[in-house]
Structure 1
Amino acid sequence: MLDTKGTKVKGGSFIIDDVEASSVVIPEDFVEEQRMMMETTRDFVEGEVMPHDEEIEKLNYELTVKLIRKAGELGLLGSDVPEEYGGLGLDKVSSTLINETLAKASSFALSVGAHVGIGTLPIVFFGTAEQKRKYLPALATGEKIAAYCLTEPTSGSDALGAKTTAKLSEDGQHYILNGSKIFITNAGFADIFIVYAKVDGKDFTTFIVERDMEGFSIGPEEKKMGIKGSSTCPLFFEDVKVPVENVLGEIGRGHVIAFNILNIGRFKLGAGCLGAAKEAIELSSKYANTRTQFSKPLSAFPLIGKKLAEMNIRTYVTESMVYRTSGLIDSSMKDIDQNQPDSGQLLAKSIAEYALECSINKVFASEVLDFVADEGVQIHGGYGFTQEYKIERIYRDSRINRIFEGTNEINRLLIPGTLVKKAMKGELPLMQKAQGLQAELMQLVPGQTFEGTLEHETHLLLMAKKIFLMIGGLAMQKYAMELDKQQEVLSNLADVMILVYAMESALLRTRKMIAKLGEQKAANAIEMTKVYVHEAFDDVDRFAKEALATMESGDVLRTQLSILKKLTRNTPIDTVAVKRGIAARVIGAEKYIV
């Protein structure tokens, strides 16, 4: 993504820089080809997958594989695979749209997502020309299905603590793998496995393992809380001979592949959560309109309307974040020739640039889906607790997203940690901005009056960024190199950054909509943005106070709190009335609306 000066936007820079609305990608920018891919995906889900929904949930391998191959025939598996290897080579916005639309297919969507994302992308991004020719055409059609194998019994979040080993054979032709993996999606029917092992017990390396290799076996299906229609099994390696040409990337550089693929996985997970949240809103609003209590439909009760409004608002913000981030990733990768020898390194660097934003998307979207699903069950009442209604499954399925692709706790540590690393490398002037803020904070902040549309909310966003610089600067000064041990403070900083990115994404999208469509057509978006920014700003204040109370005490704390009070000075708006208007529109449409 280029800013208005034509400069590529640096990852994490949103926390210190102003961003022009015209520079971000929003759903209202979708072109006809992208909308056609969305329609193709929707038609496939509704026409081919949903009629077999119950059977898929019973873990029917044969049916799932058959449907995955049908998806391949439609091109839905090849969006990220270059055309020369049998794919479509689509932009990341298009592949994100496919991912979101597939979400209605529940467990099947997870099977497809694991295949096209973390299963196939390691070869797309880091494979040799020969590896790409050998594997990608079959992966793009679904003839072969992929799985990603990182987690082990003793290493989940600590991926580099893996115990699976690889040793070069005496003839130098194979690596001999020994060890195990757990919780591997698609394991029951996958053909190609992206496996991580330590060469000689120390050099973390990636291997392409084929299902029929001798000594490789697959354990029984896990009995899971949700996503029951997806295969999840352990893997076992007993002297498995993997040809040396199946080393993916370089020996000892497996972490580069693992972490960058996880970044993409986190972003794609956010898109899947978005699609599920939209379905939950549709199910809940329709139920609220048909269920009658006290001679009135549930939707006529203000507290039910409030729930639907809040579900819709948070989903709007999530959608704004997801497509903004897809635009950033697109711009970072689009000029890289993947046929060049150094393309893997360039791709790794371009993905890593927005690692922070990918983690933000993952955390925010997974927690929004949990909120939306929970409220959906509540609207359904007792029926929401029965398997007769799909909202029950959405509720169970949603829970894994806060664990997948690095727990939300790990991602909360990564968000400020990545920002600090960028600052230490001189990539972002974080400390300079924080120091420049000190003099400003000691001055009186005059009262503000706001007249233009969203000017008040834009001011709150600016104050939220200053609050982050204030508490972030204090944390870096106080703890210096020991900051990584202060996990509670890091979590506070992460939450403020997440809220800033969310507030800003909604504001930028709505401003761009106003410029394109006019205020009247963007009226609902304007109201949702107002409510979200004001409520998020209150959360920013709360996280900042908690961080300050952790770092300081006595007179120093009182001084810092008085400065914070200047930055958080705000006249609240009547969110109750605004939410009633939003609720009425959702209830009228019986679905997620912008």
Structure 2
Amino acid sequence: MTQTKKVVGASFIIEDQDFHSIVTPDELTDEQRMIAETTAEFVERDVLPVDEQLEKLDYDLTVKLMRKSGELGLLGADVPEAFGGLGLDKVSSTLISEHLSRAASFALSIGAHVGIGTLPIVYFGNTEQKNKYLPALSTGELIAAYCLTEPSSGSDALGAKATAKLSEDGQHYILNGTKQFITNAGFADVFIVYAKVDGQHFSTFIVERTYEGVSVGPEEKKMGIKGSSTRPLILEDVKVPVENLLWEVGKGHLIAFNILNIGRFKLAVGCLGASKEAIELSAKYANTRTQFGKPISSFPLIGKKLAEMNTRTYVLESIIYRTAGLMDAGLSDIDHNSPEAGVQSAKAIAEYAIECSINKVFGSEVLDFVSDEGVQIHGGYGFIQEYKVERIYRDSRINRIFEGTNEINRLLIPGTLVKRAIKGELPLLQKAQGLQAELLQLVPGQIFEGTLEEETHLVSMAKKIFLMAGGTAVQKLNTKLEQEQEVLSALADVMIQIYAMESALLRTKKLIAKQGEDKSAAAIAMAQVFIHEAFAEIEALAKETLSAIETGDTLRTQLSVLKKLTRRSSVNTVALKRQIAARVIPAERYLC
């Protein structure tokens, strides 16, 4: 199932991709299925029975279970074999993260450790640092935490005030400052800390808990994720050996931004697992809860909710495994025994920084929708802590803030795209300029008869709409574009919807090719529902964008062109959603 062809990051916005080349979760290898089963069994057997105790912030139990997961290899998936890990592909490590998500706050403790806590050393550590820390991090002997946020700097990471000064004897960096909202701070042994050398050069350090001057503040009282430790880290004249500088002085921003890419992706994976659990809880409850003499699952509006929850989760799953496949292909020709393997790996993942941000935004908002509808299906009981859907709802809210707020990511998505185009890494501007000739050749009133033919056409038209609206924005606003955050956000939402639409479309086509239309009926229905509803949203976003940057006759002309691009037939989404619900309700779980 491995994708072998490398794809240029963000090229989905200007090029169509064949379904044969994408990775989907419907074609896992036996080894990958075994990894998923091992993870699920660990959660079911070892974590869920003590879930209530974990939610009360039992540090000793959390560390004990993390070490047990390390024995199973669940902490070393992304660590090279040469340094005590398993060196698994990204699809396999994605499966681990997805199945751990049922462990709620405990999953966050593991996620912070294996992701943003360990990967800086995997990608940017030298051989000595890797040998010293990675084997112990892979087993859980050492627990890691990531320390970027400060009381006065969140999304503006480079505004950090923590300082590092080289000692007179040149043997240590003296660190001072406070880091805030640090996951795992209550029990972590190793902290990845960002500070400015001489107050100017943003750099990264490996700081051990036992160093003199290291302390932590009290636990934060949080809305959700109550079972994860969140405390400030306080650094007072901490002597960090010079050999614990990660990579080079002044390269901290590159480490931070590259690690955030994978962190955003892994966050979306967690949202996928939680969404699946919320569907299962909600469908089971709807089948057992009776009102007016029959189960509420028999009411069409409850079925509609479950259908929409399942559909969005199907699309999220499609983009996640497509992105994991992209990263695996990008990493495929790296010599992982090379001293430069880590930096090369980080660069390969950075190629898909836009896709990672899309995963983060889409995933966090899908889970918010799914968990909210889950509470609604439960009615008053959804507001009671005895029912897990209440916790899923509370825990979900942090995901739109973690790893860069969704607003920041929405600015990054088109902003990064334009920068890549200016550097010549993507022929975006050339495609936008050539669009006018294409518009003259569009055939109005096309008739579509084959399965998903119209949906394929709509994805193609959506890309043209983005090129028209985005090209107009760049041409009209030029250097002022970055100041027009509403326009950037709208363009980001168009890109997000296009990536989601195409991912669902390609996955569904692959399913049809593999098992036929009859067995793919639910997937076809979900792809149709999502693509038509997303296309309507894209049309509205394009109108909003054009109206924000054009006026008068020029605007009327642009809207006329948009109307030409958005012609489509009406689809009976009510019937399609009933069809989807008819499968989900008796199965009482997420289905594709």
Output the TM-score relative to the length of structure 1: 0.98
Match of 2:517, SS state, is coil
Question: Pairwise mapping of residues 413-562 of structure 1 onto structure 2 (< 5 A)?
Answer: 413-442=411-440, 445-562=443-560
Q: Deviations over 1:123-171 (max 9, x none)?
A: 1111111100000010000010000000000110000000000000000
Return the alpha-carbon distance in structure 2 between the equivalents of residues 307 and 8 of structure 1.
38
Q: In structure 1, what is the equivalent of residue 407 of structure 2?
A: 409
Q: Deviations over 1:562-586 (max 9, x none)?
A: 1100000111110001100100100
Aligned residues: 592
Q: In structure 2, what is the equivalent of residue 200 of structure 1?
A: 198
Q: In structure 1, what is the equivalent of residue 73 of structure 2?
A: 75
Query: In the superposition, relative to structure 1, how do residues 483 and 2 fare at CA in structure 2: closer, same or farther (>3 Å)?
Result: farther
- Corresponding letter in the other structure for 1:229: G
Within the candidate set 258, 262, 268, 1:270 is matched to: 268
Q: In structure 2, what is the equivalent of residue 354 of structure 1?
A: 352
Within the candidate set 365, 379, 394, 1:396 is matched to: 394
Q: Deviations over 1:256-289 (max 9, x none)?
A: 1100000000000000000000000000000000
- Does the aligned pair in 2 maintain the 1:129–1:339 contact within 8 Å? no
Q: In structure 2, what is the equivalent of residue 229 of structure 1?
A: 227
Alpha-carbon offset, residue 7 of structure 1: 5.4
- Corresponding letter in the other structure for 1:63: L
Q: In structure 1, what is the equivalent of residue 583 of structure 2?
A: 585
Within the candidate set 174, 177, 195, 1:176 is matched to: 174
Return the alpha-carbon distance in structure 2 between the equivalents of residues 553 and 59 of structure 1.
57
Unaligned runs of 5+ in 2: none
Question: Pairwise mapping of residues 35-434 of structure 1 onto structure 2 (< 5 A)?
Answer: 35-434=33-432
Query: In the superposition, relative to structure 1, how do residues 444 and 525 fare at CA in structure 2: closer, same or farther (>3 Å)?
Result: closer
What's the C-alpha RMSD, in Å, of the aligned pairs? 1.1
Query: In the superposition, relative to structure 1, how do residues 212 and 444 fare at CA in structure 2: closer, same or farther (>3 Å)?
Result: closer
- Does the aligned pair in 2 maintain the 1:445–1:566 contact within 8 Å? no
- Does the aligned pair in 1 maintain the 2:25–2:321 contact within 8 Å? yes
- Does the aligned pair in 2 maintain the 1:187–1:218 contact within 8 Å? yes
Q: What percentage of aligned pairs have identical amino acids?
A: 74
- Does the aligned pair in 1 maintain the 2:6–2:326 contact within 8 Å? no
Q: In structure 2, what is the equivalent of residue 571 of structure 1?
A: 569
Task: Name which of structure 1's ranges 326-335 and 136-145 shifts more when overlaid on structure 2.
Answer: 326-335
- Does the aligned pair in 1 maintain the 2:297–2:585 contact within 8 Å? yes
Unaligned runs of 5+ in 1: none
- Corresponding letter in the other structure for 2:451: T
Return the alpha-carbon distance in structure 2 between the equivalents of residues 190 and 344 of structure 1.
23
Match of 1:237, SS state, is strand
- Does the aligned pair in 2 maintain the 1:416–1:493 contact within 8 Å? yes
Return the alpha-carbon distance in structure 2 between the equivalents of residues 411 and 422 of structure 1.
16
Match of 2:501, SS state, is helix
- Does the aligned pair in 2 maintain the 1:125–1:338 contact within 8 Å? no
- Does the aligned pair in 2 maintain the 1:528–1:582 contact within 8 Å? yes
- Does the aligned pair in 1 maintain the 2:118–2:137 contact within 8 Å? yes
Return the alpha-carbon distance in structure 1 between the equivalents of residues 78 and 346 of structure 2.
15
Alpha-carbon offset, residue 442 of structure 1: 4.5
Alpha-carbon offset, residue 543 of structure 1: 0.4
- Structure 1's consecutive aligned runs of 4 or more residues displaced over 4 angstroms after TM superposition are none
Alpha-carbon offset, residue 104 of structure 1: 0.3
- Does the aligned pair in 2 maintain the 1:2–1:8 contact within 8 Å? no
Task: Name which of structure 1's ranges 382-391 and 347-356 shifts more when overlaid on structure 2.
Answer: 347-356
Return the alpha-carbon distance in structure 2 between the equivalents of residues 11 and 547 of structure 1.
24
- Does the aligned pair in 1 maintain the 2:2–2:325 contact within 8 Å? no
- Does the aligned pair in 1 maintain the 2:166–2:173 contact within 8 Å? yes
Output the TM-score relative to the length of structure 2: 0.99
Match of 1:213, SS state, is coil
- Corresponding letter in the other structure for 1:557: L
- Does the aligned pair in 1 maintain the 2:5–2:21 contact within 8 Å? no
Q: Deviations over 1:375-420 (max 9, x none)?
A: 0000000000000100000000000000000000000000001111
- Corresponding letter in the other structure for 1:506: A
Q: Deviations over 1:359-389 (max 9, x none)?
A: 0000000000000000000000000000010
- Corresponding letter in the other structure for 1:272: G
Match of 2:476, SS state, is helix
Match of 1:406, SS state, is coil
Match of 2:497, SS state, is helix
- Corresponding letter in the other structure for 2:521: A
Alpha-carbon offset, residue 28 of structure 1: 1.0
Return the alpha-carbon distance in structure 2 between the equivalents of residues 503 and 553 of structure 1.
31
Task: Name which of structure 1's ranges 353-362 and 444-453 shifts more when overlaid on structure 2.
Answer: 444-453
Within the candidate set 24, 32, 51, 2:22 is matched to: 24
